[in-house]
Amino acid sequence: MTEANEEDRVFESAAELFGVLATPVRLKIISAVCNGERNVSELLEQIQTTQPNMSQHLATLYRAGILGRRRDGNQIYYRLQSEKVAMLCRAVCTQLAVELDGSEPVPAQERLLVGAAR
């Protein structure tokens, strides 16, 4: 395989991952399960959405390999399956929080927000 083909595969995989993560509800779910597994009821207490919508997002994250799950009686518990995704989400969300806070100047070349002015 050529270097260009390998690079294409990397970018395609990254785009696919970013596509899965491109929904605020999914990012909230990932954040909620970073510190331990949660069942659907616990997630619904933390995240404002309907139960069918939550189930749809959980299924997408599970199919993508980001979440794992286990059944205990009639409850399904979800856990983070990919530490790489957690690290990525933490890095991006932390950087954006700093930029949105505005108390610390962020050099233009380090800004994630397009057009973020200081």
Please report the sign of the dihedral spanned by the C-alpha atoms of residue 7, residue 91, residue 30, residue 85: positive
Q: What is the pTM of this model?
A: 0.78
pLDDT tens per residue across span 31-82: 899 889 999 999 999 999 999 999 999 999 999 999 999 999 999 999 999 8
pLDDT tens by residue, 5-17: 888 999 998 899 9
Q: Distance between CA atoms of 68 and 83, rounded to whole angstroms?
A: 12
- Show the domains of the chain with their CATH numbers: 3-82 (1.10.10.10)
